[in-house]
Structure 1
Amino acid sequence: MAAGWLATRAGMLFLLTHSGSVLLGSGGVSREVHHLYARWAGQLGDGTFPVGDALWQYPPGAGPVLLAPALVPWLTYFEAFVALTLLADAIVTAALTRAGLRPGRTLGGAALWVCALPLLLHLPLARYDVQVTAFAVAGLLVAERSARAGGVCAALGAAVKLWPALILLGTPRGRPTRRAWTAAAVTGGLLLTLLAVAFRNPQGFLREQGARGVQIESLGGTLLGLARHAGWPGTVRYRYGAMEFVGPQVDTVAAVSLALTAAAGVLLLVWRAGARRWTEATPYDAALCAVLLFTTTSRVISPQYLVWLLGLAAVCLTSHRTSQRPVAALVVLATAVSTVVYPLLYAEVVASSWTGCLLMLTRNGLLVTATALSARRLWRATRPPGARRPPPPAPDAHETPRSVPWNSRATPR
């Protein structure tokens, strides 16, 4: 596992150092760290979160993550950021390997993470989604032994990007749920209070996040891209850090996406209320299903979101009792297609060419299929055994008892 990690990460680093080529995005992948993250770190170093910056759409916990490269002063900001991302990646690999070596577990999760993350090429090294995923993976794996520790990890991850809060959805009923959710609430409250005291304008991200439109890589964006071939007059514009559609009916598509996200939340609550069977894998499976639901219905499906899904799928595969094995395979396929979308053929997607539309239909079709399959398998795995099929009909009173052989000479009275 260690040899595989070293070999694949060396390849990712090689691609990162050559990211200026046209095929690898003409430097667009690494530009975000070089310019955007470094600029934000300078503002955070002055004690304030970005003000009036349409690109700042992250919870306050992202601030310490972006400031962390300053802990390695002998490297440039970019070098330190990549080094810390690799460290977080190594921690995830070690945690999955340790979990897989426990009795009754499997190393399939660690193998998936080591082998599938490089499908995104060098992108994971130039975003801080690996760090966020590390909090989620740690929270799921430690919650079995300490529900409070799992809640703390979930809160720390949610303070950086909101989605790690969803890993608490599958905590077993009763005391584990109370302990995990209470620890998460207390940790999140204390952290946000500390950040509010240490920095100015910690809530500024809410305004910019709410103003986001429909990204071209989202499910709604795929429909609008196809609509351009039918005469829809919309265009693509760089807004809020992503390529978004602008034109008539875009607000309607965004509203439908938000409604679908709300419906996904209701569906998860219904599952939680009706679930009756819990295994060691249920919290893992529920976390993957929840993040799939919220990702697929989102107005934005950036390629780095696949890092989250790979991490959660890897946690599922550490257990033989997971219900999500085919879902993990679909996530890996969607990851491979996402790389073709960005950075390899992103110009086709921006232009909504037939090639770009076909790519988005394939990637998002895989995500929709994975989401539906995940929800179905989670629902069936957590229902009581008697609920899966109706009981056999009672034998008719005039029917010959089954205990009598068909060739018996006994005459029933």
Structure 2
Amino acid sequence: MNRLRVHTGPVLWVTASWLTTRALMLWLLTHDSHPLLGGGAVAREVWYLYGHWYGVLAHGAFPAHDTLWQYPPGAGAVLLAPALLPWLTYFQAFGLLTLAVDALVAAALIRAGTRPGRSLLGAALWTGGLPLLLQLPLVRYDVQVTALAVLSLLATARSPRAGGALAALGALVKVWPALVLLGTPRGPVTRGAWRWAAGAGAVALGLLAVLFRNPLSFLRQQGGRGVQIESLAGTALNLARHAGWSGRPRMQYGSVELVGPHVHAVALACLMLTAACFGLLVVWRVRARRWTEATPFDAALSAVLLFTVTSRVISPQYMIWLIGLAAVCLTSRHTSQRPVAVLILAAAGLSTLVFPMNYGEVVDGTWTGCLLMVARNGVLAAAAVLSFVRLWQAARAEEPVVQSVQKPEPRPGSDRHRDRAVSLS
């Protein structure tokens, strides 16, 4: 009862903030056609692309010959979900379901934050961080993916089976949620989580393969992707245009990529860097000596950050993943990632300045566009390095040793002197 009374005020504040900010995001979505908000480019993906895929999926097949279809088969279930609300248009149903999942994440973070020794900072970060991306989160299915990752992390400590199953379902929608199991404690928790992840993933994939044709067609499209203009490598190439590089932007595979000399080598270097980061994470896990309740959370954020900054593609909706994982970290008072969470919020704000507000500048390669990308990606790179360094230090730190102090044997007559001292006081 006392714990409930202590948290009532902060919980009400977070709830009121969520209602206010989401109302603002919905208002922005209704004004999506405003030039400052992208001129309709943000919501267009649901209107045209998701709606088109919904028609194909409804006939029992994945878009096998569509170069824009680059997602694991679990994404099909998310894109078909608006059929649960047949009285609404596809766009309305998609936005409403995304908002409901957003509320579910906030509720899970609030519940986690009100437990003994936990913090509501995570719920506050999710509530206040997502609106930094304006209306974008409501018209991308990355909120649903992030929800599976967040719920997996929060569930694993109490039920490794549930945590593993949720991570597997998330990986079937967008591969990255598999990384949330990287920091599970050694022993039964890790074995249980990974065993159930493998089982749940196999069952779900088998079910999708039975219900739909061409479930693995996305692999062909993913393999053909190049260097997106918003990635760290894309930023370097965009700057090279000012130094005489003859490359140019081109719309392909659903995003603006840079094409020209040496792009293939740059893309290959990105893949090698990603592999090197995976190796670093494996070394961390092998050599880690100290585990706290926050270690799985911190490891998940660090892994996704490292994979994001070394990727050939960094879309603005990727920030939703990072905000969600940072929010989970902040539910624990033992997290090492507090300064990283601040950098992620800064990167989210800069991402909005890039897309949708100044995306034309980025595509044209102007100095304004290049400097915005250098700022956003520089903050992300700093966050990734800081995150891993703090994760390493936290896991390698020795537990504080409490030395017992042995009381000296009382000397003859000490009681008499003690009694005298007491009487004089």
Using the TM superposition, give the Cα deviation of residue 92 of structure 1 relative to its aligned residue in structure 2, in angstroms.
0.3
Counterpart for residue 340 of structure 2: 327
Unaligned runs of 5+ in 2: 1-13, 401-425
Counterpart for residue 249 of structure 2: 236
The letter for the 2-side match of 1:232 is W
Matched, 1:75 2:75: no
Equivalent residues in 2 for 1:59-98 (5 A)?
Answer: 59-98=72-111
Using the TM superposition, give the Cα deviation of residue 51 of structure 1 relative to its aligned residue in structure 2, in angstroms.
1.8
Matched, 1:172 2:175: no
Q: Count residues in correspondence.
A: 387
Over residues 32-89 of structure 1, what are the superposed CA-to-partner deviations in whole Å (9 max), with x where a residue is unaligned? 0001001101100000000210000000000010000001001000000000000100
- How much is the aligned-residue C-alpha RMSD, in angstroms? 0.9
Give the Cα separation in 2 of the matches to 1:63 and 1:223.
34
Over residues 259-306 of structure 1, what are the superposed CA-to-partner deviations in whole Å (9 max), with x where a residue is unaligned? 101111111111111111100000000000000000000000000000
Matched, 1:376 2:371: no
Counterpart for residue 10 of structure 2: none
Give the Cα separation in 1 of the matches to 2:380 and 2:331.
22
Using the TM superposition, give the Cα deviation of residue 386 of structure 1 relative to its aligned residue in structure 2, in angstroms.
8.1
The letter for the 2-side match of 1:161 is K
Counterpart for residue 147 of structure 2: 134
SS in 1 for 2:256: strand
4+ runs of 1 displaced by more than 3 Å? Answer: none
Counterpart for residue 131 of structure 2: 118
Counterpart for residue 398 of structure 1: none
Over residues 159-179 of structure 1, what are the superposed CA-to-partner deviations in whole Å (9 max), with x where a residue is unaligned? 000000000000000000000
The letter for the 1-side match of 2:81 is A
Unaligned runs of 5+ in 1: 388-413
Counterpart for residue 274 of structure 1: 287
SS in 1 for 2:35: coil
Counterpart for residue 181 of structure 1: 194
Would the aligned equivalents of 2:98 and 2:143 in 1 still touch at CA under 8 Å? yes
Matched, 1:200 2:225: no
Matched, 1:161 2:174: yes
Over residues 183-206 of structure 1, what are the superposed CA-to-partner deviations in whole Å (9 max), with x where a residue is unaligned? 000000000011001100001000
SS in 2 for 1:244: strand
Matched, 1:313 2:346: no
Give the Cα separation in 2 of the matches to 1:63 and 1:31.
18
The letter for the 1-side match of 2:261 is P
Counterpart for residue 121 of structure 2: 108
Give the Cα separation in 1 of the matches to 2:361 and 2:371.
10
Would the aligned equivalents of 2:290 and 2:399 in 1 still touch at CA under 8 Å? no
Matched, 1:299 2:298: no
The letter for the 2-side match of 1:162 is V
Counterpart for residue 216 of structure 1: 229
Over residues 96-152 of structure 1, what are the superposed CA-to-partner deviations in whole Å (9 max), with x where a residue is unaligned? 001000011110000000001000000000000000000000000011100111001
Counterpart for residue 23 of structure 2: 10
Give the Cα separation in 1 of the matches to 2:327 and 2:64.
37
Using the TM superposition, give the Cα deviation of residue 22 of structure 1 relative to its aligned residue in structure 2, in angstroms.
1.1
Q: TM-score, normalised by structure 1?
A: 0.93
Give the Cα separation in 1 of the matches to 2:157 and 2:214.
37
Give the Cα separation in 2 of the matches to 1:192 and 1:331.
33
Counterpart for residue 34 of structure 1: 47
Over residues 360-382 of structure 1, what are the superposed CA-to-partner deviations in whole Å (9 max), with x where a residue is unaligned? 10000001100000000000000
Matched, 1:252 2:281: no
Give the Cα separation in 1 of the matches to 2:376 and 2:175.
24
The letter for the 2-side match of 1:135 is L
The letter for the 2-side match of 1:9 is R
Give the Cα separation in 1 of the matches to 2:276 and 2:108.
33
Give the Cα separation in 1 of the matches to 2:194 and 2:290.
20
Sequence identity of aligned pairs in percent?
Answer: 66
Q: TM-score, normalised by structure 2?
A: 0.90
Give the Cα separation in 2 of the matches to 1:282 and 1:319.
10
Give the Cα separation in 1 of the matches to 2:64 and 2:168.
25
Give the Cα separation in 1 of the matches to 2:70 and 2:77.
15
Give the Cα separation in 2 of the matches to 1:191 and 1:149.
14
The alpha-carbon distance between structure 1 residues 297 and 354, as it changes in their structure 2 partners (threshold 3 A), is same
Give the Cα separation in 2 of the matches to 1:146 and 1:51.
37
Using the TM superposition, give the Cα deviation of residue 211 of structure 1 relative to its aligned residue in structure 2, in angstroms.
0.4
Matched, 1:283 2:283: no
Counterpart for residue 147 of structure 1: 160
Give the Cα separation in 2 of the matches to 1:319 and 1:369.
22
Give the Cα separation in 1 of the matches to 2:16 and 2:394.
36
Over residues 312-369 of structure 1, what are the superposed CA-to-partner deviations in whole Å (9 max), with x where a residue is unaligned? 0000000110000000000000000000000000001001110111001000000110
Give the Cα separation in 2 of the matches to 1:281 and 1:23.
39
Give the Cα separation in 2 of the matches to 1:4 and 1:161.
29
SS in 2 for 1:332: helix
Over residues 9-47 of structure 1, what are the superposed CA-to-partner deviations in whole Å (9 max), with x where a residue is unaligned? 010011111101111111011000001001101100000
The letter for the 2-side match of 1:168 is L
